[in-house]
Amino acid sequence: VVACLGNRQPDMARWLSLGAEKVVDAMGQKGVNRLVILSSMGIGEDFMPFSFIHNILWPLLLNTLMRSAKRDLQGLERVVEASDLNYLIVKAVGLTPEEKPEETWHVLQSRGGDVEISIAKSDMAAFMLQEALQPTMVKKAVTAGSKPKKKG
């Protein structure tokens, strides 16, 4: 199952953790074991390198204007992590409709790597679908985005 629940708009109702509970329960009832679910960078440990956007601006937004979205995303992750499922939580960078698809992505599983701050929605969808069908990462959370651009 690939789940991309909810919204991040400040003025909309929050139901990500409730949605995650329903998905986890339904999967248990049907005997489906693999879940790849979308979360967000900035929620818990996300392995992003230091940058103004990631370490200052995004936390400021999450702790002020987007407090309810942050709490809901944290709840979603807690529900999934507490389940018996074979899960992958994908902490996506900015999913941008304007970003041109590259048909590639980059995944951080620990500190020391880098990703671009945005990725095409279709590239994120392709990564998540691939992980659902052919799992390589189990019972973990990763940060996913575009491959870093070469500097210079």
Nearest to 123 by CA among 89, 142, 98: 98
Is pLDDT of 67 > 70?
A: yes
Question: Across all residues in the chain, what is the average pLDDT?
Answer: 85
Nearest to 76 by CA among 46, 119, 47, 44: 44
- Element spanning 106, H or E: strand 106-108
- What are the residues whose beta carbons fall under 8 Å from the beta carbon of 55, sequence distance 6 or more? 48
DSSP E strands, the chain: 2-3, 34-40, 86-92, 94-96, 106-108, 118-120, 140-145
Is pLDDT of 25 > 90?
A: yes
Is pLDDT of 28 > 90?
A: yes
Going by pLDDT thresholds of 50, 70 and 90, the confidence category of residue 36 is: very high
Residue matched to tokens 């929050």? 14
pTM for the whole structure: 0.85
Q: How high is the pLDDT of residue 106?
A: 81
